[in-house]
Amino acid sequence: MNDRRVFRFLTGLFLVAYSFVTDSPSLQAAEPAKIRLVAYNIKHGRGIDNRVDLKRIASVLRKLKPDLVALQEIDHTCTRSGKVDQAAALGNLLGMHYRFGKFMDFQGGQYGLAVLSRFPVQKSIRHQLSPGAEPRCALEVIVQPAASGPPLSFVSIHNDWTREPFRVAQVNDLIMGLRERKHPVILAGDFNAEPKAESLARLRASGFLILTKEKGAKTFPSPAPRIEIDYFMTRGFSFVNPPLTVVHDERLASDHCPIAIELPLPR
């Protein structure tokens, strides 16, 4: 066999092998894309040492490598936290888009919650909720994590801390506010309710799946966590085995521990 015939023979073998690989579904299939979520009640950046330190909060978040972050107890130019727009400051420190949702006017500024997003925010919606000891809202952002996939609603939650009837009214309002969403929805944050609470049962009944933590994991108070009140919940996702929420052992930056989870993106 001359050199030209050898070259043609080897080329043919390569093309057959390439065709086999590219046409084989089992070899072509890739791991599904994933999205990493964090929820964190930061107590306006005030740590257990009584210092307000947003750079410390940013450092905690940076280590968790989030795509979306639900933040609770956020100040917008309030006196107690140095007249800083905290959502903007954290967004800038982390290189993320940000949105703020106001609960109420407070100390010359505003107090509420926020969302940080690695993805451009298509739309943000402030959902007014029934009042409790303080005014309350939920903050929804709609993003498109993957060009080929559906949009996604990510909602930062901080329900009343004093009475379960207030929390029930608040989740009922939120369920109504999200009733027309056809795409997947994630709720994330401080629900101020333990796992068997009626407010969480209402969310389950409306179609939300509460993503569980490793056995025994608690989120508050951070120096010695003894209760579980921070959660991720999903609607419109299909899980063969739902992933576990991880509680990170951060005891100084806030009075809550941050929680994180990695989810496969819905198709």
Q: Between 3.40.50.800, 3.60.15.10, 3.40.50.300, 3.60.10.10, what CATH number should domain 32-264 receive? A: 3.60.10.10
Digits of tens for pLDDT over the chain (267 positions)?
A: 455 554 454 444 444 444 433 443 333 345 458 999 999 999 999 999 999 999 999 999 999 999 999 999 999 999 999 999 999 999 999 999 999 999 999 999 999 999 999 999 999 999 999 999 999 999 999 999 998 889 999 999 999 999 999 999 999 999 999 999 999 999 999 999 999 999 999 999 999 999 999 887 999 999 999 999 999 999 999 888 999 999 999 999 999 999 999 999 887
What gap in Å lies between CA 70 and CA 110, rounded to an integer? Answer: 17
pLDDT one-digit tens code per residue, 102-159: 999 999 999 999 999 999 999 999 999 999 999 999 999 999 999 888 999 999 999 9
Per-position b or e across 3-32, b if 16+ CB within 10 A of its CB: eeeeeeeeeeeeeeeeeeeeeeeeeeeeee
Q: Which pair of tokens denotes residue 159?
A: 């329900």
Q: Which pair of tokens denotes residue 206?
A: 């409306």
Q: Which pair of tokens denotes residue 62?
A: 């940076």
**pTM for the whole thing?**
0.88
Listed in sequence order, the residues at least 6 apart from 17 whose beta carbon sits closer than 8 Å to its beta carbon are none
Beta strands in the chain (DSSP E): 34-41, 68-76, 97-106, 109-117, 121-129, 136-143, 152-158, 185-190, 209-210, 230-235, 246-247, 259-264
